């Protein structure tokens, strides 16, 4: 064995960075953050399973195979984006290919002049003051190896700025496509800034376009939500079995703001979602809903962290999973209630149905409460399809298959009902219907 083969993934990523960094975009401010980020990444390293946060996610194995750092420039791929549209969804369309904003495939419908939707690369040049104010503020490079790694390698992604008092009428649909011919690593980075009293609906879909080799996407999305703003953020993950993702979403909410998010995972070989919410102002509301359907050898891991830092905030989480085959699911929900966060209302629920003997789910609520006048509750349940309900329906003439399907639809229905864009909800209902068939 040669010395080169012996170096760890952490070391390789750190040394590759030295090679590619001169081609990475951004001014000295951005370059400075990159440098700090790679140092932090080198110090933390790719987490081992003894790291409590990655106990079930074998990321060392993920990074053990023969991958390469992606070509850090725009990709030209022959894609008809229409295939990835959501029918009846009248939306602004943004297409990212391998994490790069594609100008030619994206189309903004009668964009309001005040809203900025652009590639992150461009935003580095055109809006340095916004970048300096917001980049790497929600996502702490010292808190997690993959935030650090993404921050160092950030090449492109979506930049959205919704100024104060602006309501974006149409949803913004971001289509993420992975289309690699060889095992690659991708680092998409999004920055969404939502001003005071502003409102926006964001839909992100994740698909693989003809991906025949394993790829790893390590993405970071930062959302800065200012006072009294309302943000709905929906993510639909539907990659093929070669898709492997570590997604981190970090939001910071200022007073009186609302954040609603749904994370729906219907497919994908290996998916880890980190969702970190910081409630930095009083009277905020945040609703986290999640749904996943795992089968075969799928791995779906949702880690949420809600940090209640100020009083009178409310957080609500409902995650549901249906696991079949040899799939594995994880739900880890951490809630911090800081000393100042009196009158906090925090609720968390995780419910799962196992359809096979070989499927596994690990759920773990973690509540750390330092304030004394709060209401916090959590609940978790895992089981099989309710036999009594199944018999009831069969006794009325339904086949066992139809009865199961009805019960599984019923199980996911309350999460689907939290989606407030009708076309998206109908699209999901159709996809779930097909998947449960």
Partner 1 sequence: MLSIKNLRAGIEGKEIIKGFNLEVKAGEVHAIMGPNGSGKSTLSNVLAGREDYVVTSGEVLFKEKNILEMSPEDRAREGLFLAFQYPIEIPGVSNINFLKTAINEIRAYKGLPPMEAKDFLKMVKEKQALVELQGSLANRSVNEGFSGGEKKRNEIFQMAMLEPTLAILDETDSGLDIDALRIVANGVNKLRSPQRSFIVITHYQRLLDYIVPDYVHVMYEGKIVKSGGKELALELEEKGYDWIKKEAVEA
Min. distance of Cβ 321 from partner 1 in angstroms? 16
Min. distance of Cβ 392 from partner 1 in angstroms? 6
Give 73 or 401: the residue with its C-beta nearer to partner 1. 401
Min. distance of Cβ 395 from partner 1 in angstroms? 5
Min. distance of Cβ 287 from partner 1 in angstroms? 19
Whether 407 contacts 379, CB under 8 Å:
no
410 in contact with partner 1 (CB under 8 A): yes
414 in contact with partner 1 (CB under 8 A): yes
Secondary structure element (H or E) that encloses residue 3, with its range: helix 3-6
Q: Using alpha carbons, select from 106, 235, 240 the residue that is nearest to residue 180.
A: 240
Largest Cα–Cα distance of the chain, in whole Å?
70
Min. distance of Cβ 414 from partner 1 in angstroms? 7
Give 308 or 351: the residue with its C-beta nearer to partner 1. 351
Work out the number of other CB atoms within 10 angstroms of the CB of residue 366.
14
Among 398, 423, 431, 436, binds partner 1 (CB under 8 A): 398
Q: Taking CB under 8 A as the rule, which mask of x and - marks residues 60-79 in contact with partner 1?
A: --------------------
Cα–Cα distance for residue pair 410/305, rounded to 1 Å: 27
436 in contact with partner 1 (CB under 8 A): no
Give 184 or 351: the residue with its C-beta nearer to partner 1. 351
Cα–Cα distance for residue pair 208/434, rounded to 1 Å: 18
430 in contact with partner 1 (CB under 8 A): no
170 in contact with partner 1 (CB under 8 A): no
CA triple 300-304-306, angle to 5 deg: 170
Among 339, 392, 422, 430, binds partner 1 (CB under 8 A): 392
407 in contact with partner 1 (CB under 8 A): yes
Whole-angstrom CA distances from 231 to 198, 225, 227, 256 are 8, 8, 11, 12
Region of 42-50, 189-197, 375-383, 407-415 interacting with partner 1 (CB under 8 A): 407-415
394 in contact with partner 1 (CB under 8 A): yes
- Provide CB contacts within 8 A for 291, sequence distance 6+: 262, 263, 264, 265, 319, 320, 321, 412, 415, 416
437 in contact with partner 1 (CB under 8 A): no
399 in contact with partner 1 (CB under 8 A): yes
Cα–Cα distance for residue pair 331/288, rounded to 1 Å: 12
Min. distance of Cβ 387 from partner 1 in angstroms? 8
- Reading the block at residue 105, the tokens are 């495939």
Cα–Cα distance for residue pair 404/400, rounded to 1 Å: 6
Q: Using alpha carbons, select from 325, 268, 267, 335 the residue that is nearest to residue 304.
A: 335
Among 393, 423, 431, 436, binds partner 1 (CB under 8 A): 393
The label of the residue with tokens 């076309």 reads 423
Give 287 or 409: the residue with its C-beta nearer to partner 1. 409
- Provide CB contacts within 8 A for 182, sequence distance 6+: 68, 213
1 in contact with partner 1 (CB under 8 A): no
Give 371 or 407: the residue with its C-beta nearer to partner 1. 407
User: Binders of partner 1 among 351-390, rule CB under 8 A?
Assistant: 386, 388-389
Could you tell me which residues are beta bridge partners of residue 320? 291, 351
402 in contact with partner 1 (CB under 8 A): yes
Whole-angstrom CA distances from 209 to 48, 66, 119 are 31, 21, 21
Among 1, 3, 19, 395, binds partner 1 (CB under 8 A): 395
Work out the number of other CB atoms within 10 angstroms of the CB of residue 110.
8
Q: How many residues bind partner 1 (CB under 8 A)?
A: 22
- Contact footprint for partner 1 (CB under 8 A): 386, 388-389, 391-400, 402-403, 406-407, 409-411, 413-414
């Amino acid at each position: 064995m040669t010395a080169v083969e012996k170096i760890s993934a952490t070391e390789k990523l750190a040394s590759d960075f030295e090679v590619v960094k001169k081609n990475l975009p951004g001014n000295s401010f951005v370059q400075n953050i990159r440098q700090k980020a790679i140092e932090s990444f080198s110090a933390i390293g790719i987490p081992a399973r003894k790291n409590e946060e990655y106990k079930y996610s074998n990321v060392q194995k993920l990074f053990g195979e023969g991958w390469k750092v992606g070509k850090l420039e725009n990709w030209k791929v022959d894609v008809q984006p229409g295939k990835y549209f959501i029918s009846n969804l009248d939306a602004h369309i943004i297409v990212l290919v391998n994490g790069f904003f594609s100008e030619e495939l994206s189309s903004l419908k009668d964009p309001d002049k005040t809203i900025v939707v652009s590639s992150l690369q461009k935003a580095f040049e055109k809006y340095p003051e916004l970048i300096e104010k917001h980049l790497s503020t929600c996502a702490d490079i010292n808190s997690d190896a993959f935030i650090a790694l993404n921050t160092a390698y950030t090449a492109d992604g979506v930049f959205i700025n919704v100024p104060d008092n602006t309501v974006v009428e149409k949803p913004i649909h971001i289509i993420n496509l992975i289309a690699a011919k060889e095992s690659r690593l991708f680092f998409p980075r999004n920055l969404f800034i939502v001003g005071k009293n502003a409102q926006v609906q964001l839909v992100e879909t994740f698909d693989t376009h003809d991906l025949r080799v394993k790829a790893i996407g390590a993405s970071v999305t930062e959302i800065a939500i200012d006072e009294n703003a309302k943000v709905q953020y929906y993510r639909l993950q539907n990659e093929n079995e070669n898709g492997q993702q570590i997604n981190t979403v970090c939001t910071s909410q200022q007073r009186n703001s609302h954040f609603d998010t749904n994370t729906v995972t219907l497919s994908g070989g290996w998916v880890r979602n980190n969702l970190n919410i910081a409630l930095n102002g009083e009277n905020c509301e945040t609703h986290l809903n999640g749904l996943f359907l795992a089968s075969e050898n799928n791995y779906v891991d949702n880690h949420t962290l809600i940090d209640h830092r100020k009083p009178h905030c409310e957080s609500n989480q409902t995650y549901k999973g249906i696991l079949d085959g040899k799939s594995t699911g994880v739900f880890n929900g951490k809630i911090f209630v800081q000393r100042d966060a009196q009158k906090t209302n925090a609720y968390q629920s995780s419910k799962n149905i196992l359809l096979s003997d070989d499927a596994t789910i690990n759920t773990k609520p973690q509540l750390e409460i330092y304030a004394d006048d709060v209401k916090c509750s959590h609940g978790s349940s895992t089981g099989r399809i309710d036999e009594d309900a199944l018999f009831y329906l069969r006794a009325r003439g339904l086949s066992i298959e139809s009865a199961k399907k009805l019960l599984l639809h019923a199980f996911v229905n309350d999460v689907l009902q939290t989606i407030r864009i009708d076309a998206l909800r109908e699209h999901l209902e159709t996809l779930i219907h097909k998947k449960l068939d």
